[in-house]
Chain A
Amino acid sequence: MTFEDRKGRGRYSSRSDRLFTGLTLVMVVAILFLAGLMVLQLLVASIPAMQALGWHFLVGMDWDPVHEHFGALPFIYGTLASSLLALILAAPLGIGVAIFLAELAPPWFRAPVSFMVELLAAIPSVVYGVWGLFVMAPWLRNMVQPWLSEHLGFLPFFQGPGFGVGILAAGLILAIMVVPTITAVSRDVLMAVPNHQREAMLALGATKWETTWKAVIPYGRSGIVGAIILALGRALGETMAATMVIGNSLDISISLFAPANTMASIIANSYAEATYGLHAAALIEIALILFVITLILNIVARLLVRRVAIGPVRMEA
């Protein structure tokens, strides 16, 4: 093959390369443009609400479309309470399964279990909602809540009548829904921990358990925190399942038995009635807040997860 030949082919392939690069670049720009446009439009559309309501929107507890009183605190509270409850339940479970998968399970067992856990993430959320409403909520009402109020009823979290639906139900459903996220991301983080870290700890006379706790998890700590934040983002934004089991009340109560409402569920429940200006603008402002919060959480989480993959150790002098 002569030099000319190669040059010719090179030119040809570099042209198609450029075309390909250009095409993909257009797509990337389009996506970014769409996302930017969405933020912008949400912002513009919620300006009437911001002007009319100001900070009252964030701290007000009254939500009365008829009299145009819009305080979104009950939804903000419901969202945070159900999501935090979900994380408290899901994080230990998800991390535990991840440790099992990454450190203990033999490879032939790891693949099917990983597959099944990830399958949980593929179930449509309305299915979780239906199951939560017709199976879990009655079980909570008849079995769990009576037990909790009898044994832990002195705590403010477990007081009042148990209806089944409420923050507890929403937190449980959300927990089940975010466990796959925590498990999958933490497992990848733990598996990215270099083997020399395990061997260093083992060589000091650590058991398998001590090695996991003192070498592997500390090394992957920021990535695991990232997994939890990613799950928090999912839980905050989850709409259908939470809406179906949270009970849709406009009150704020410290009790986990109480029905509540989330930011996503108030939008889902009332967008059809929001026909006039301020009501619609108020819903859009809630959407904007939710969007910005989940965006920030996702960015932070991904940065944390990436740090482990790259590795915090500086090896060369």
Chain B
Amino acid sequence: MALGMEIQNLRAWYGKVKALQDINLTVVPGAVTAIIGPSGCGKSTFIRCLNRLHEVVRGARASGQVWLGDLNIYGRGVDPVLVRRRIGMVFQKPNPFPAMSIFDNVAAGLHLDGVPRQEIYGRVEMALRLAGLWDEVRDRLQVSGANLSGGQQQRLCLARALALEPEVLLLDEPCSALDPASTMHIEAVLRDLKGRYTVVIVTHNMQQASRVADYTAFFLTGEVVEYGSTEDIFTRPRDERTENYITGRFG
């Protein structure tokens, strides 16, 4: 199930402004890769290029190659809609669909994917269990997703993405709007996913990166400054700029 990603010469623009210079990076299958870097360095842009969500912003475009297994998702004739079904995403701000029940939130992607009716309940339960939310919501699957706490909403969004059993899961600062307890909860889920899912997580929190990530990439002004195992990045960075950033002497 877990596929890796290979990013080659990825560049991205907002109108005439170049946000990513020339990214080359390998996302290891089944591992958690953290993206760190100061605000505005292009972390969100990068991760949104991995499921072709970058291009839905008006005037935004990207070039280069991003391989999901042996599919170049920027290849000719590749439908971004189908790419997005194989690559899940969780956003910074919890964004459940308020007009849908908890159950329907998780089932939303399954309906889009044409999953047969009789399979849906099982897949929803599986996803909610995986996201560590099942026990809290099993008795109220029909209430609106907007009635949950912020941390629960974010796990609902995680379940919504996991229900599609994506090959890669992208998370853009998933915990920045959450309290410490909810953050720990999400991190525990991410550690659980290891081996089964390929995870890319953007985070501002370096403790979080060191807690959950196997590999870490440090971004600066739209470029990858350094990439390696999380341990190497945090204990023996090769680049001075990385060292300055992780020791807090920097942006």
Contact (A314, B56) CB under 8 Å given A196-B95, A204-B109: no
Question: Does B51 make an interface contact (CB < 8 A)?
Answer: yes
Inter-chain contact count A-B, CB under 8 Å? 83
Smallest beta-carbon distance B37→chain A, Å: 22
Question: Does A142 make an interface contact (CB < 8 A)?
Answer: no
* CB atoms of B150 and A203 under 8 A apart: no
Smallest beta-carbon distance A182→chain B, Å: 20
B-contacting 9-mer, from A151-159, A210-218, A290-298: A210-218
Give the contacting residue for A196; candidates B82, B91, B179; CB below 8 A: B91
Smallest beta-carbon distance B229→chain A, Å: 29
Question: Does A128 make an interface contact (CB < 8 A)?
Answer: no
* CB atoms of B179 and A218 under 8 A apart: no
Question: With A and B bound together, what is the CA distance between A202 and B147 in angstroms?
Answer: 23
Size class of the contact patch on chain A? 20 to 34
Give the contacting residue for A200; candidates B91, B149, B151; CB below 8 A: B91
A-contacting 9-mer, from B23-31, B132-140, B156-164: B156-164
Query: Which residues of chain B come closer than 8 Å to A206, judged between CB atoms?
Result: 81, 112
Question: Does B85 make an interface contact (CB < 8 A)?
Answer: yes
Q: Closest residue of chain B to A311, judged by CB?
A: B98
Question: With A and B bound together, what is the CA distance between A196 and B90 in angstroms?
Answer: 11
Question: Does A313 make an interface contact (CB < 8 A)?
Answer: yes
* CB atoms of B108 and A219 under 8 A apart: no
* CB atoms of A210 and B112 under 8 A apart: yes
* CB atoms of B84 and A317 under 8 A apart: no
Give the contacting residue for A317; candidates B53, B91, B100, B149; CB below 8 A: B149
Smallest beta-carbon distance B74→chain A, Å: 17
Query: Which residues of chain A come closer than 8 Å to B99, judged between CB atoms?
Result: 218-219, 221, 312
Question: With A and B bound together, what is the CA distance between A313 and B177 in angstroms?
Answer: 15
Question: Does A207 make an interface contact (CB < 8 A)?
Answer: yes
* CB atoms of A205 and B97 under 8 A apart: no
Question: Does B174 make an interface contact (CB < 8 A)?
Answer: no
Query: Which residues of chain B come closer than 8 Å to A214, judged between CB atoms?
Result: 97, 108, 112
* CB atoms of A315 and B150 under 8 A apart: yes
* CB atoms of B85 and A196 under 8 A apart: no
Question: With A and B bound together, what is the CA distance between A312 and B97 in angstroms?
Answer: 10
Question: Does B88 make an interface contact (CB < 8 A)?
Answer: yes
Contact (A205, B109) CB under 8 Å given A197-B95, A199-B53, A312-B98: yes
Query: Which residues of chain B come closer than 8 Å to A312, judged between CB atoms?
Result: 98-99, 146
Question: With A and B bound together, what is the CA distance between A215 and B56 in angstroms?
Answer: 16
Smallest beta-carbon distance A186→chain B, Å: 16
Question: Does A5 make an interface contact (CB < 8 A)?
Answer: no
* CB atoms of B146 and A203 under 8 A apart: no
* CB atoms of A204 and B164 under 8 A apart: yes
Contact (A204, B84) CB under 8 Å given A218-B99, A316-B150, A317-B149: yes
Proximity string of chain B (201-234) to chain A, C-beta cutoff 8 Å, 1 when within and 0 when not = 0000000000000000000000000000000000
* CB atoms of B94 and A203 under 8 A apart: no
* CB atoms of A205 and B113 under 8 A apart: yes
* CB atoms of B94 and A205 under 8 A apart: no
Smallest beta-carbon distance B110→chain A, Å: 9
Proximity string of chain B (80-123) to chain A, C-beta cutoff 8 Å, 1 when within and 0 when not = 01111110110101111111100000001100110000000000
Question: With A and B bound together, what is the CA distance between A316 and B147 in angstroms?
Answer: 10
Most buried by B among A194, A200, A221: A200
* CB atoms of A205 and B85 under 8 A apart: yes
Most buried by A among B53, B81, B88, B89: B81
Question: With A and B bound together, what is the CA distance between A118 and B198 in angstroms?
Answer: 51
Q: Closest residue of chain A to B51, judged by CB?
A: A203
Query: Which residues of chain B come closer than 8 Å to A314, judged between CB atoms?
Result: 146-147
- Enumerate A277-317 residues with CB–CB distance to B below 8 Å: 312-317
Contact (A204, B91) CB under 8 Å given A219-B97, A317-B150, A317-B151: no
Query: Which residues of chain A come closer than 8 Å to B56, judged between CB atoms?
Result: 198-199, 202
11 example contacts (A-B, Cβ-Cβ < 8 A) are as follows A107-B58, A197-B95, A199-B56, A204-B84, A204-B164, A205-B164, A206-B81, A218-B97, A312-B98, A314-B146, A317-B151
